[in-house]
Amino acid sequence: MKAKGAFLPDIVAFCCAQSAYQSADAAGSMRITYPENIRVIRVPCAGRVDVLHILRAFEKGADGVLVLGCHEEACRHLSGNIRAKNRVQRVNTLLQEVGIDGKRVEMFTLAPNQGPRFARIANEVNERIKELGPSPVKSGA
User: Contact with other proteins (CB under 8 A): which of 102, 103, 123, 137?
Assistant: 137
Name the helix (H) or strand (E) containing 105: strand 105-110
The alpha carbons of the chain give a radius of gyration, in whole angstroms, of: 14
12 lies in the site for other proteins, by CB under 8 A: yes
- Report the distance separating Cα 24 and Cα 82, nearest Å: 21
114 lies in the site for other proteins, by CB under 8 A: no
33 lies in the site for other proteins, by CB under 8 A: yes
Angle, vertex CA 18, rays to CA 15 and CA 20, nearest 5: 35
The answer to whether 131 and 124 are in contact (CB under 8 A) is no
User: Contact with other proteins (CB under 8 A): which of 7, 72, 79, 131?
Assistant: 79
Measured from the CB atom, is 29 or 124 closer to other proteins? 29
Q: How far is the CB of 100 from other proteins (least distance, A)?
A: 7
Angle between helices 20-29 and 115-132 (to 10 degrees): 100
The answer to whether 132 and 101 are in contact (CB under 8 A) is yes
User: Contact with other proteins (CB under 8 A): which of 20, 58, 68, 69?
Assistant: 58
Question: Which residues contact other proteins by CB under 8 A?
Answer: 1-2, 10, 12, 17-18, 21-22, 24-29, 31-34, 36, 39-45, 47-53, 55-62, 74, 76-80, 83, 87, 94-95, 97-100, 136-139
